[in-house]
Chains A and B, each alone.
Chain A
Amino acid sequence: MSNEATLHSQQEVMHGAHDHHDHEHHHEDSFISKYVFSMDHKMIAKQFLITGIVWAIIGAFFSVLFRLQLGFPDATFPWLESILGHWAKGGRISAEAYYALVTMHGTILVFFVLTAGLSGTFSNLLIPLQVGARDMASPFMNCLSYWFFFLASLVMMASLFVQTGPASGGWTMYPPLSALGDASIGSKIGVDLWLTSMALFVVSQLLGGLNYISTLLNMRTKGMAMTKMPLTIWSFFFTAVLGVLSFPVLLSGFILLLMDRHAGTSFYLSDIFIAGKALANEGGSAILYQHLFWFLGHPEVYIIILPAMGMVSEVLAVSSRKPIFGYLAMIGSLFAICILAFLVWAHHMFVTGLNPFLGAFFVLLTLLIAVPSAIKVFNWITTIWKGNINFTPASLFSIGFVSTFISGGLTGIWLGNSSIDIHLHDTMFVIAHFHIVMGVSAFFGMFAGIYHWFPKMYGRFMNNTIGYIHFWVTMIGAYLIFWPMHYEGMAGMPRRYYDVSGWASFKQFGGLNEFITIVVILVFAVQLLFVFNFFYSIFKGRKMTNQNPWNATTLEWTTPIHAGHGNWPGEIPEVYRWAYDYSKDGRDFIPQTEPIGPNESAH
């Protein structure tokens, strides 16, 4: 108790003042309208975040389960049977269960955590706060966006419990495997539920995305020219544009798949003999689905990584006390990535029998993306050069992001070159590549965002010590898991193999697989520590005493510590300058709301 007192005594005075202030604007919300069907973007952001965290725990736990199988193919774990039942008879996960876990891990992490949980959280939280708006353009659509996501979550969750199991054809859901119940047990009702859930998810993304775009285009506060926006907002903008343009294509692909499953059409099916009989379908192309899927699927990886890039740019600038280097180049490279994202989808399809001449263009355009990516990396490194860096957990995760983005990005240059892809396609090399560059990196960006804006969300800080432990174990663990995995891929070990012990060419990696699994378990445990820290700090964290704890220039820190619906109690502040006046003219930072002085140097 005395400790609690030490912890919280200093801010009582200030906090009291704010309480008083808050009351003027307070209109009583019911529990339902405040916490459930809230239209306040800040609450919706929290809803996305917490739902995302729940999904992340489930998705990551699935990876622990299938890594157990991969690392210890001969061992039995009786407790597996008690949680998975007949899917793990005798304590060994069955092949069907393994593939269901792999598929769900991918679906959950890519869509529910790193799309909805990441951009859903931070676009919602930061767009109105950083452009100076009271809320989203349509708070109601925003509310719907979350609840469609919630419905999608319910359907996906339900699919885990049906008797024939969830979808198990890989998160890309390629037909004919996903189209024919006879081809795989997971392609029975599991795929229908998967498609339904994803359709709801697309609706949620479109509602959200249109809202983000219209808010930041139309509702910026006075003086907030587009070129004065923080890079976070630029990245959310491009993310939303990508989503709005590509998710509908995915949905169309899903609808055709659903029709092939139930309406007897042959969009994707042709010349198939399965379960002892030849199917009537003729003339379809299984490759058509892949085009439709990857037309979203590739932009999707940028939907995941761009918000992380934006937040890392912001956090690095704030914690280095330096302006982000090359602000316009950063916007330009985001724009270039956004355009190129639509023109590279077929690099996932080099070995499908795609016309090699067409493939050549996709090689060129794919490697072209490395240029804006390289610009961003060099700019981040220059941002911390000659800075004065304060290592908060957020800034450590940002540095970690740059490191993993380099490591994973460089292997993209390997895979984007079709002549190398012909050897490495669908091997563990690909797993290593995309987990580092869009899994680990995106998570690092997300963690940076959570640690950095947690005070804005909850008026308290997360525990730093646990934050440091979280960062270091995750950083070291991520490299230990994924670095050696490249070698498995170099040996041609295919991805999605339940057991490699029967293969003369791949079984030499048994020991390595064991090692990776052990690290996975450790890293997973530390993520639980983070989750605990998150929830504990919501209620018991050190209270925020200063409304601008990181001495940042941006608008969100001009709102009261516990901002009500509407964000600013009085007028929305006016903006006079860009978001990166750190260490300018001998001043530590100059808020965006401060008019340009007569003798100020230009940037």
Chain B
Amino acid sequence: MSGFLAVLVVVLIFIVIFQIAKASEYVSILKGEKKAREQSNRINGFMLIAFLVLGLIGVYWCNDLLKGKILGESASEQGEGVDTLIYVTLAITGVVFVITQIALFWFAFKYQEKEGRKAFYFPHNNKLEVIWTVIPAIALTILVAFGLKHWFQLTSEAPKDAAVVEITGKQFNWIFRYPGKDGALGRRDFTKIDPAAGNELGLDWNDPLNKDDFMPTEMHLVVGKPVKLVIGSRDVIHDVGLPHFRMKMDAVPGIPTTLWFTPKYTTKQMKEKTGNADFTYEISCDQMCGSGHYSMRGVIVVETQEEYDKWVAGQKSTYSLTHADTAAPAGEAKADSTQKTVAANIK
């Protein structure tokens, strides 16, 4: 019923607008086309200048209202470069924006049709055209140079001492894998994936490097220490989006990708900095991956080296977890030995 009423109200408003519009057409004919035209030009000319003024105030006001809701300072060293480039670009495009919009609306207002005004026949002017070809070209060269400098830094090889964490996307969550004590990730093969047996990534158990790899539910990173993410996907294309670190990279099935960055602040520090007790570093999926795309959330905890070491010590290797189960019925001796391996691995 209320829906019906809403439709009725909309239709009524339409009819009213339409009747007014039709009546104004008759009035303009009775009044004479010339007079109606003068009046409409005056009104629209005024509207254009009002739009400019209110629009520029609105831009300022909108910024005032929303600037506190964006991310604030970058939480990675690499992101600082991204932010600097954003500010430089904002300054250049901002100036161009204000000047061109003012010129556009001001000219439209100033040169509205008036009795007796003659338009100025001005088909071209080579000097002007050269000026406004060269100036944008110079401005853009600067932006390209700055941009590429940062780009090559962002995409450079990760430092040798960088920690390595593997992150794999699947519909609809992230799977993390740490190399364990040996510092190397073991081989994997998508045909060996067997979620029922706890092998989400298809780790090849014949590869000894896999024996100590562990797969936590959250990603833990050490503050101030560069980390290299090895990114992959199990099914469709996903994208590792790290808004606080200003980083992003697609997860493509069959084609591993990487990115690296150095976290600047621990999660705890960020909570204090932002004054938000719920602050969390989140990993968003930024590439449409199906109906659960919007819920593909991962969590990163950045902490100090001590906290991190403690956390690692509490992790069990995936091998031990998966093989403890299957081994259990086979006899106590074997289970025992597995546990020993686990213990050894953790040390």
Chain A residues in the interface with B (C-beta under 8 A): 3, 6-7, 78-79, 94-96, 99, 168-170, 174-177, 180, 183-185, 269-274, 276, 278, 282-287, 320-329, 351-353, 356, 359-360, 363-364, 367-368, 370-371, 374-375, 377-382, 384-391, 396, 399, 402-403, 406-407, 410-411, 413-414, 417-420, 422-423, 425-427, 463-466, 468-469, 472, 475-476, 479, 483-484, 487, 490-492, 494-500, 502-506, 508-509, 512, 525, 528-529, 532-533, 536, 542, 580, 582-586, 603
Contacts and interface: CB of A to CB of B under 8 A. Distances in A.
Contacts of B284: 492, 494, 503, 505-506
A525 B288 contact: no
A426 B238 CA distance: 11
Question: Which 8 A-B pairs rank lowest in CB-CB distance, beginning with the nearest?
Answer: A492-B243, A270-B254, A356-B155, A353-B257, A386-B120, A465-B21, A391-B44, A417-B147
A422 B118 contact: no
A384 B17 CA distance: 31
B79 A389 contact: no
Given A286-B237, A356-B151, A423-B82, A271 B253 contact: yes
A581 to B, nearest CB: 8
B122 A323 contact: yes
B246 interface: yes
B25 A468 contact: no
B121 A532 contact: no
Contacts of A382: 122, 128
Interface stretch (B98-106, B204-212, B315-323): B98-106
Contacts of A402: 104
Given A6-B30, A328-B124, 15 more contacts: A273-B190, A320-B111, A351-B239, A364-B144, A389-B41, A390-B41, A410-B93, A413-B143, A418-B147, A419-B150, A426-B286, A504-B282, A505-B71, A508-B69, A532-B14
A426 B241 contact: yes
A193 B154 CA distance: 41
B12 interface: no
13 contacts: A78-B3, A170-B288, A176-B237, A269-B253, A278-B190, A326-B129, A352-B252, A353-B250, A378-B132, A413-B89, A420-B147, A505-B243, A505-B282
B326 interface: no
Given A96-B291, A583-B120, A425 B104 contact: no
B252 A504 contact: no
Interface string B167-192: 00011000000000000000000110
B246 A423 contact: yes
B335 interface: no
Contacts of B257: 352-353
A174 B289 CA distance: 9
Interface string B89-123: 11011001100110111011001111001111111
A425 B111 contact: no
Given A176-B237, A353-B252, A411-B93, A386 B119 contact: yes
Contact of A286 (B55, B82, B255): B255
Contacts of B123: 323-327, 580, 603
Contact of A351 (B236, B249, B278): B249
B47 A472 contact: yes
Contact of A490 (B70, B140, B255): B70
B273 interface: no
Nearest to B280: A504
Chain B interface size range: 35 or more
Interface in B8-24: 10, 14, 17-18, 20-22, 24
Contacts of A463: 21-22, 25
A580 B101 CA distance: 25
Contacts of B43: 468
Nearest to A372: B133
B81 interface: yes
A536 B22 CA distance: 11
Contacts of B193: 273, 278
B119 A423 contact: no
Interface stretch (B216-224, B293-301, B305-313, B336-344): B293-301
B108 A389 contact: yes
Interface string B9-53: 010001001101110111011100000010011011101100100
Q: Which of A96, A370, A385, A423 is the most central at the interface, judged by chain B CB atoms within 10 Å of its CB?
A: A423
B66 A363 contact: no
A180 B168 CA distance: 19
A286 B238 CA distance: 11
A384 B286 contact: no
B215 interface: no
A589 to B, nearest CB: 10
B26 A6 contact: yes
B162 interface: no
B264 interface: no
Contact of A529 (B17, B66, B243): B17
A422 B154 contact: yes
Given A177-B237, A410-B96, A353 B14 contact: no
Contact of A371 (B48, B105, B136, B195): B136
A402 to B, nearest CB: 6
Interface in B212-268: 234-237, 239, 241, 243-244, 246-250, 252-255, 257
Contact of A497 (B81, B247, B280, B294): B294
